[in-house]
Amino acid sequence: MKHIILPPIVLTVVCAAVCGLLAAVNAATSDKIAQAEINKVQKSLVTVFGEGTYTEQPQSFEGVTAVYRSDSGLTIYDITADGYAKGGIRALVGINTDGSIGAVGIVSCGETAGVGTKVTEKDYLAQFAGAKDASGYPDIISKATFSSNGLRSAVQLAQDCYAKEGQS
């Protein structure tokens, strides 16, 4: 009987002990983790759109993680799009009050290093500025079609959301 009853008991005790330990570590680090996530987005916002205050907006759209408004009048959409990797591009797209693109920045990029990551280069992102619609977007980067299309779809989505917001 011992060899039937003992193993499950030991396994249960080990699992319970590890769970307890993790609960303790989680309680100790959860604030820190939440703060780190906020810092990351704020840091990206400042890097892309310059110093200023950015306040999170209550709107929510499908495919948009968060909406921010800057004190300079930009509406900024935090969008994660699929590139070559699923969810490979997390971009911040700032829309001017007239609906054109203010600036585009990348929070994180999980695309192939040296190939898909070309879409994160400053010179490429700068070409989005001022575009009213898809016809004004920069060309697709050769050998990085998926990543380029992913970024375009993120920018497109931001403009669509801004258009919708204006109507309602």
Partner 1 sequence: MKNKGYLHEFTKGLLKENPTLVGLLGMCPTLAVTSQAFNALGMGLATMFVLVGSNLMISLLRKVIPATVKLPCYIVIIAGFVTIVDFLLHGFLPELHENLGTFLSLITVNCIILGRAEMFASKNPPLPSVLDGLGMGAGFTLSLLAIGTIREILGAGSWMAGTPIAIVFPDAFPTLSIFSSTAGGFLTLGVLVALAGLLTKKKPPAEVGCAACPMAGSCTGCTAAPEGKEETA
Stretch that binds partner 1, among 31-39, 119-127, 129-137, 160-168 (CB under 8 A): 31-39
Using the contact rule CB under 8 A, the part of the chain among 22-30, 52-60, 127-135, 149-157 near partner 1 is 22-30
* 15 interacts with partner 1 by CB under 8 A: yes
Range 32-71, binding partner 1 (CB under 8 A): 32-33, 35-37, 39-40
**Are the beta carbons of 104 and 94 closer than 8 angstroms?**
yes
Pick the binder of partner 1 from 7, 52, 73, 166 (CB under 8 A): 7
For residue 109, what are the β-bridge partners? 89
Q: How far apart are CA 68 and CA 45, in angstroms?
A: 9
With H, G, I as helix, E, B as strand and everything else as coil, classify residue 102: strand
Q: Where are the alpha helices (DSSP H) in the chain?
A: 2-49, 122-126, 145-167
Q: How many residues bind partner 1 (CB under 8 A)?
A: 27
Tell me how far apart the alpha carbons of residues 88 and 90 are, in angstroms, rounded to a whole number: 7
Shortest distance, CB of residue 105 to partner 1, whole angstroms? 16
Q: Is 1 in the site for partner 1 (CB under 8 A)?
A: no
- What residues have CB less than 8 Å from 149, skipping those under 6 apart? 83, 140
Amino acid occupying residue 161: C
CB of 82 to partner 1, least distance (A): 16
* Binding segment toward partner 1, per CB under 8 A, in 1-9, 58-66, 92-100, 144-152: 1-9
Based on the shown chain and the rule CB under 8 A, indicate whether residue 113 belongs to the binding site for partner 1: yes
| Helix, strand, coil distribution of the chain in percent, nearest 5 | 50, 20, 30
Give the CA angle between residues 11, 15, 16 to the nearest 5°.
115
Least separation in angstroms between residue 79's CB and partner 1 is 17
Interface ranges with partner 1 (CB under 8 A): 3, 6-8, 10-11, 14-15, 18, 21-22, 25-26, 29, 32-33, 35-37, 39-40, 108, 110, 112-115
